[in-house]
Structure 1
Amino acid sequence: MTTSTATEFTPTAADMEATHYGIPVSTYGEDGNMLALGHHDKRQAFAAFNKHARVFLGFANFADDRNASLDDWIDEIHTTWAVFHRCDPESGWTWEARPADADTPGAVPITVFDVA
């Protein structure tokens, strides 16, 4: 059995799927959750996530529901920290983000949108 060690790295906009309104954004996981590099105002992050859902995923909006509004989802947007690791190419993922505290070595500020 072979084990590989994930390589820690600091992501840039080039590691994300797109940049909207100056905010680097990417989906992660299998539930449609999104993250943005940096800590952002909830409304600004929501606008970037919503545009990403339309442009990158082809949805009507983040919920793929034209009646969805910010008020329905704003509590699902929060800031936190993560340590990023490159994944084994065979995994199908480019990177993974593991939760961290602000004082964890290599921790990066992120804004997360949990849609699940």
Structure 2
Amino acid sequence: MPISPATAHHRQRLIEQLERFTTRDDSQVAVGRRLLDDHPDLPLHGFGIAHSMEPELGEPHHLLIVLVGEHNTHAITAWGSALGTEPVIDGARHTLTTVLDGIGIWATATIPEDDYDMNQAVFTPTIDDVSGTYRGLLVTWIGEDGDLLIVGHPPARDVLSAASYYYRNACGQRLRPYNGRDLADSIDRRWGRFVAYPTRTEWQLRDAAEDTPGAVPVTWMHAQEGDTQDLSSVVARCPSCQRPSRSLDYDPVEGHRVHMCPSPACRHRWPLSDSPASSLKEHA
């Protein structure tokens, strides 16, 4: 692709931008100047900087990020050639990583979806592609609302069991129905295709008809439609009915945390300070 030389004004703007970023050490500025001086014909939209507090052995403490454009993979190749290294290609993402004068150089760009063979990127997920397994089910947390995705169409009881296990162990919460809903109503069975775009570790799931090549059965557990309840790290007995409980709630008047009896017939609340630790091994 054609590459336009940087104008003197553009070069000065990039240096001023970099100087504003670097307040402690001018070594990144020096490397930025060198890149502009040695390779004026290569595309460069801007700089970024990063620092590592505990870098791996042999890795630089300071990083200079070279911004070439979100989808300009040709620029990544050109910079790699100029700096004597080969970009790392992972799926649609091209990444340049090298070191110059003790400063790490990093740049990345991704092939646009329209220019990438999505059919070749379709894959069948394995345990390495999900958050974990539960009773043989491939389970992953997905989205920002706490939804769970399960590969396959397992029975509802297995879906609810997996959701309960996840919320208890990963979130320290109990998932409960509310407003008269049944948690099983939040189960949504579909078919979809897993697409390794931009990379397999950052895959996408796209709805598909059952007879679409590469489609696999998937089950969504829309957990945000349930009521999550925090769990205490200790088990205490309800002063009213003596049932063991880890359930926590907020006092609607005082606004502080309280224990809550899990029994629907009791629902007694009592202060945390009045809840001695228990050696019970079975949690409510």
TM-score of the aligned structures, taking structure 1 as reference length = 0.79
Counterpart amino acid of residue 132 in structure 2: A
Counterpart amino acid of residue 16 in structure 1: V
CA separation in 2, counterparts of 1:94 and 1:79?
A: 22
Percent identical pairs in the alignment equals: 32
Does residue 74 of the first structure (1) align with residue 184 of the second (2)? Answer: yes
Contact 1:25-1:49 within 8 A present in 2 as well: no
Contact 1:80-1:109 within 8 A present in 2 as well: yes
Does residue 11 of the first structure (1) align with residue 121 of the second (2)? Answer: no
1:88 deviates by 2.3
1:112 deviates by 1.0
Counterpart amino acid of residue 210 in structure 2: A
Aligned alpha-carbon RMSD (Å): 2.2
Partner of 1:52: 166
Stretches of structure 1 that go unaligned for 5 or more consecutive residues are: none
Q: How does 1:1-116 map to 2 (within 5 A)?
A: 2=71, 3-4=112-113, 5=116, 7-56=121-170, 58-61=171-174, 63=175, 68-69=176-177, 72-88=182-198, 94-116=202-224
Contact 1:25-1:52 within 8 A present in 2 as well: no
77-86 or 5-14, which deviates more:
5-14
Report the count of equivalent residues: 107
Pick 1 or 2: higher relative contact order, CA cutoff 8 A, min separation 6: 1
CA separation in 1, counterparts of 2:221 and 2:215?
A: 18
C-alpha offsets along residues 18-62 of structure 1, whole Å, 9 cap, x if unaligned? Answer: 101221100111211111111100111110122122223x2313x
- SS of the equivalent of 2:153 reads coil
1:9 deviates by 1.2
TM-score of the aligned structures, taking structure 2 as reference length = 0.35
Computing the radius of gyration over CA atoms, which structure comes out larger, 1 or 2? 2
- SS of the equivalent of 2:173 reads coil
- SS of the equivalent of 2:214 reads coil
Counterpart amino acid of residue 53 in structure 1: Y
